[in-house]
Structure 1
Amino acid sequence: MVTPVTRSRARAFRGAARGAPEIPLAVRRTWQDVGGEPEPAVPTHFLCPISLEMMRDPVTAPTGITYDRESVEGWLERGHATCPVTARPLRLEELVPNHATRRVIQEWCVANRGLGVERVPTPRVPVSAFDASELLAAVSAAARRGDGPRCRELVVRARALGKESERNRRCFTSAGAARSLSSAFCHLARERVVPATALEEILAALVLFLPLDEESRRSIATPASLDSVVSILSHGELPARVSAVVVLREIASSSDSQCLEAMSKTNGIYSALVKLLKKPVSPQATKAALVTAYYLVAHTELAACLLVDLGTVQLLVELLVDADRGTTEKALALLDSLLLTAKGRDAAYAQALAVPVIVKKMQRVSDMATEFAVSALWRLCKNVAADDGGCKAEALQVGAFQKLLLLLQVGCEGLTKDRASELLRLLNGCRNGAECIDSLDFKALKRPF
């Protein structure tokens, strides 16, 4: 049996947590000054029994107890199935908005506005499971009819409701929003005369209701759907392009071989991804493009060759100069994958900054970045024939030997440790022919590149 959460016990818990006797909330607030005047004590019946804060959206349970909606819904979502005060059974759908109490609280706030009390806004009515299902069904029906404008109107409404609150978003997600929207996108994509705005709105809504399940991914991974996504990615407005690449990332990162195969055969997908790296529109879009490209390269070597031909290695080196942690990890991962190919290594050898940047990112970013940086440098230095030893000499000059020694001393494991050790052996053979500089001297190279 769940022990009821009474107001006195909750206060005792809060006082114990602070290591001091608990002072009633209403009394504490009278000690606070707002503009030189004492703040009025909040009436006890305005306080939620769970949070002990003034209720903003009061709802009443069948037990007769009134709670703040956010607090009691959080209680139920954490696995409880009883009224916190009475311990009687309670379900989410049994909560009823208490408009009378909410109006009284608002009137009290208005009356005490001069003392710094802000009025509690009128809460929006949350979406019910039935309402969400009905709206999504209407979206699907409009899409099957090929009615793009109506479908767009309904999707805009669903997205707006989902953005109102996390509760609404979860409600739509549970009602199968991802499946309905992806299916709608698939139907409309087959209609050549459907306005692009309808498809863009569906992608924006899909981003809100992620993740995609297998059925949803397969709907977007049809040839017609992927052509539309790539078209939006290449020519759409900035927000639409972000939505498109995030959806592609979601599909690619599932490692679904069928979806990846379809993506790899979509015309223009590689140039669209490279365009996002060359002319970034947002950090989110850049990271999504990197992840998408990474999984495509992992799926087929042809993707690596196509990306290298589009100048991706140079773009990654430039991107790594001032990238944040997340972007650095993803860019190094993609670069390491491209260096698996001879084309990728040749492109890196042709970049004067490739080795200095990789060595620079070998430490002080993250363990993941270190792993990919060591792997990338290992791929470059191991291929002695193509580079005639110049790569190793350059690595020595920018302090790679010292950093690898430090890395092994601090500790690394598995493949990274093996490759760091092999790199040290490779570099050690060139130490007599190249002058090593101290790693501190490398700081001077930070700004020029």
Structure 2
Amino acid sequence: MVRADLSITVPSFFRCPISLDVMKSPVSLCTGVTYDRSSIQKWLDNGNNTCPATMQVLQSKDFVPNHTLQRLIQIWSDSVKTLSDSSSSDAPLSLSKEQAQALVKEIEKDDFANRFDSLSKIICFASQSEENRKFLARLDGFLSLTVDILCNAGAELRVLEQVVWVLELILIDFEENEKMSSVLLSRDFLSSILIVFQQGSLNSKIGSARVLELIAVDADSKLTIASNDAVLSELVNSLTSNSDSNLNGAVLSCIISVTLPKRTRSKITKLGVVKGLTQILADPNSTVTIIEKSLKLLEMVSTCAEGRREICENPLCIPAVAQKLLKVSTASTEHAVVILWRVCHVFRDQRAQEAVTKSNGLTKILLLMQSNCSCQVRQMSRDLLKIFRVNSKCCLSFYDTKATHIMPF
């Protein structure tokens, strides 16, 4: 019998190399080393130009959010809290592979009501290392057991949430996601995911979106997920009703992953995705990553007639896109230019052209051409300027910069 007082020590890679505390917002430097954002920012603000762990001189002081590690820490922390709440032991032991295997056998025997604590221990074990996650993935019968629990209508919500977290952890490093995708989608998996997304905690909603993204590995799986109107509607609606950046990021990645077919782009447009994306872009608190994903999805939507119509009819959308042309990131600039180029140049929408000029977009396009942008972005900018040149009297009335040396005409 597995001891009931099992808990988990803090994995070393969850700790910031500077503060030695569990990281709250892990970010990676160009050297590949990950730190807590506040710690590394303080290090750089003090005038240092090296990586604290390796002492390499930094070629760039930019850092990239490590979303996978942040998610692992979040799941691990929640599971440890669950174990602490349900255990009175003050002398915890680490969970070994043998103990994890024994726990799985117990889960197979237990009824649904008694599985919660065992699954919490399994989650802690899986979140500790890639090796542990691969061990569980290869463990005979484990994945089929999780699918059976998730697809069982009698399972209570908190058990469904635990299984979603287990699947997310396993799928992060699973080498056969296509095989797992076919198993899940052949069962009543999406109905359970929908229940978790509608009724579960914030963490389990994020996990549900991540699982959907991870199993959307081919055209068939993308189409199957996108064909479920209830699931797709919940994902899109969450963009307008939610302000949590982690959930928005997971939902955006999920929708992007299943929106490859053109019919799906029309469907999410009708569900109101343009309104949600506009709301995110207009939010001054949106992170760079969220802005990039929002513009990428908006660019995808702009390839269908319904999407372009919604973009042009929404009075806030084009100004929000134009606002992101500069000073966000290279990816954001490229997505924003493509959107404006498509609606203003390719399809010559008069409403879009007027919205660009009124939001001082011409100035940004002119400045963009002076920057170190890609050849493709520069060409699209030229195409846009040709459109504005046709309406030069209208456009120039909104052009208020005194930098006349960059005027193209």
TM tier relative to shorter chain: 0.5 to 0.7
Q: How does 1:230-309 map to 2 (within 5 A)?
A: 230-252=194-216, 255-280=217-242, 282-298=244-260, 300-309=261-270
Distance across 2 between alignment mates of 1:407 and 1:271: 37
In structure 1, the residue matched to 2:83 is: none
TM-score under structure 2 length normalisation:
0.68
Contact 1:132 1:172 in 2 (8 A): no
* Cα shift at 1:161: 4.1
In structure 1, the residue matched to 2:296 is: 333
Larger radius of gyration: 1
Distance across 2 between alignment mates of 1:326 and 1:277: 15
* Residue type of the alignment partner of 2:324: K
* Residue type of the alignment partner of 2:98: F
Call closer, same or farther: CA 1:437–1:271 in 2, change over 3 Å: same
1:225 aligns to 2:189 (yes or no)? yes
* Cα shift at 1:263: 0.8
* Residue type of the alignment partner of 2:319: P
Contact 1:132 1:175 in 2 (8 A): no
In structure 1, the residue matched to 2:339 is: 376
Structure 2: gaps (5+ residues): 1-89, 403-409
* Residue type of the alignment partner of 2:165: A
Q: How does 1:43-442 map to 2 (within 5 A)?
A: 124-139=92-107, 141-142=108-109, 147-162=111-126, 166=128, 169-177=129-137, 182-209=143-170, 210-213=172-175, 214=177, 215-252=179-216, 255-280=217-242, 282-298=244-260, 300-321=261-282, 322=284, 323-384=286-347, 387=349, 389-434=350-395, 435-438=397-400
Call closer, same or farther: CA 1:401–1:267 in 2, change over 3 Å: closer
* Cα shift at 1:352: 1.1
Contact 2:321 2:336 in 1 (8 A): yes
After the TM superposition, which of the residue ranges 175-184 and 235-244 deviates more from structure 2? Answer: 175-184
In structure 2, the residue matched to 1:81 is: none
Contact 1:392 1:430 in 2 (8 A): no
Distance across 1 between alignment mates of 2:187 and 2:296: 28
Contact 1:338 1:344 in 2 (8 A): yes
* Cα shift at 1:319: 1.0
Contact 2:206 2:251 in 1 (8 A): no
Distance across 2 between alignment mates of 1:340 and 1:317: 17
* Cα shift at 1:291: 1.2
Distance across 2 between alignment mates of 1:401 and 1:221: 48
* Residue type of the alignment partner of 1:130: E
Task: Report SS of the residue matched to 1:176.
Answer: helix
Contact 2:150 2:163 in 1 (8 A): no
CA distances 1:282-308 after superposition (whole Å, capped 9, x unpaired) = 21111111111112222x122111211
Contact 2:134 2:173 in 1 (8 A): no
Distance across 2 between alignment mates of 1:282 and 1:193: 30
Contact 2:210 2:250 in 1 (8 A): yes
* Residue type of the alignment partner of 1:184: L
Structure 1: gaps (5+ residues): 1-121, 441-449
Task: Report SS of the residue matched to 2:173.
Answer: coil
Contact 1:133 1:175 in 2 (8 A): no
Contact 2:266 2:307 in 1 (8 A): yes
* Residue type of the alignment partner of 1:327: I
Contact 2:164 2:207 in 1 (8 A): yes
Contact 1:127 1:171 in 2 (8 A): no
Percentage of identical aligned residues: 20
Call closer, same or farther: CA 1:331–1:181 in 2, change over 3 Å: farther
Contact 2:325 2:333 in 1 (8 A): yes
Higher relative contact order (CA 8 A, sep 6+): 2
Contact 2:126 2:133 in 1 (8 A): no
CA distances 1:42-64 after superposition (whole Å, capped 9, x unpaired) = xxxxxxxxxxxxxxxxxxxxxxx
CA distances 1:394-421 after superposition (whole Å, capped 9, x unpaired) = 3123222222222222122253333222
Task: Report SS of the residue matched to 1:268.
Answer: helix
Distance across 1 between alignment mates of 2:154 and 2:320: 48
Call closer, same or farther: CA 1:277–1:207 in 2, change over 3 Å: same
Call closer, same or farther: CA 1:123–1:173 in 2, change over 3 Å: farther
After the TM superposition, which of the residue ranges 185-194 and 268-277 deviates more from structure 2? Answer: 185-194
Distance across 1 between alignment mates of 2:218 and 2:117: 32
Q: CA RMSD in A?
A: 2.6
Aligned residues: 306
* Residue type of the alignment partner of 1:276: S
Call closer, same or farther: CA 1:281–1:401 in 2, change over 3 Å: closer
Contact 1:332 1:373 in 2 (8 A): yes
Contact 2:209 2:250 in 1 (8 A): yes
Task: Report SS of the residue matched to 1:272.
Answer: helix
CA distances 1:182-201 after superposition (whole Å, capped 9, x unpaired) = 43332124432222322211
Contact 1:316 1:331 in 2 (8 A): yes
Distance across 2 between alignment mates of 1:297 and 1:153: 37
Distance across 2 between alignment mates of 1:178 and 1:228: 24
After the TM superposition, which of the residue ranges 430-439 and 225-234 deviates more from structure 2? Answer: 430-439
Task: Report SS of the residue matched to 1:220.
Answer: helix
